Amino acid sequence: MFAATQLKGKSLVLLGLLLVQYHWGITLGRAEEANSGLSTNLVSFELSIHKAGVTAVFNGKRRTDRDHDLNLDRQTDSIAKGIHSLTFFFEGDSQGYPIPLQDIAIGSNGFSPLNVFAIDGVAFFPHEAESRWAIVGLSRLRTFLRGQKPEPDQIVDDLQHYISSELSESGFKSVEFTLKLQYPLATAVFRGYAAGTLPLPSGTESLSFLLPNTDEAVRFQPMGTLYPSDWTFDLISPDHNHLLLLQDHYGPYHIISFAYLAQYLDGHGEPDYLVDWQFAESNADAVLSQGRWLTNDMISFSADCCGTTEALAYKLGSDEGPALHHTND
């Protein structure tokens, strides 16, 4: 009787241990799925800003899921919140000079402004662990970063105020930038000129793609004219299967799968989906803007014409075309 009771007790203990292990297995599995989902919603990027023999290189990851920019101003550079590092490189010097980035020095909208050369003749960046900014002349920047010059030329608390006062005297000076967004099946390469603190997308002049097994980037050729306000860095769907490309200030939008991107770019392939809109009561073309992905298979955009603005959504493959969309849907 005692032996049977003891055996039963051991069985209960073993059963309890098995249940605990099973519970932890499920918990870890869900955690791995969550982490995996988070990683698939991230795209690595490299932003290079060039000025007079000096290049500032930002590296980081930006989110591509629906909620990644809901709290950002639409004019805010969409990569600013994903910056992880800043390194300066100098012409003729293979060494990089990294700048420690402290969260306390970066605002709620990320590293802003991204153009660290917005003021002619100087660079600015976070100063050590304080919520302050260092201002260093370009002619002395490498000496400072090497530690041979212990203090920056200036230290400011309110960077935005400092930049505003300086730009009011000297005006905007444009500097060249290159942004590479490393998608799983291609790399998007944006090139343009950053003017002062204006958002980088508005300075974009070209978009190209580096495709697998190719050495040269293939340039995207829109059907018409894209104005500065038409450019965006938000192209890829959350599942990384499609790209959203505006063709002209007045549309349409092309949606292209990565499987057919090479043929599309060389002019031998059509988009998977063409999305356009025209107001029924008008013969004038509507301005299409604010295109973005809502889900893996749905986009939203705005149409403006003749004093009327409509928010629209399109589900991939829908025979009915775009439909009116409420932003809180």
* pLDDT(183) > 90: yes
Question: Is there a contact between 48 and 57 (Cβ–Cβ < 8 Å)?
Answer: yes
pTM: 0.83
* pLDDT(88) > 90: yes
* pLDDT(6) > 70: no
* Residue bearing tokens 């978009």: 207
Work out the average pLDDT over 104-125: 82
* Residue bearing tokens 């032996």: 3
pLDDT tens figures, 276-314: 999 988 889 999 999 999 999 999 999 999 889 999 999
DSSP 110: B
Partner residues linked to 174 by β-bridges: 195
Ranking 168-172, 277-281, 316-320 by mean pLDDT, the lowest is 168-172
* pLDDT(328) > 70: no
pLDDT tens figures, 18-33: 443 444 343 334 333 3
What is the per-residue pLDDT for 282?
Answer: 84
Q: How far is Cα 314 from Cα 323, in angstroms, rounded to an integer?
A: 6
pLDDT tens figures, 222-255: 999 999 999 999 999 999 999 999 999 999 999 9
Residue extents of the structural domains in the chain: 42-174, 224-329
In sign, the C-alpha dihedral spanning 9, 11, 17, 19 is negative
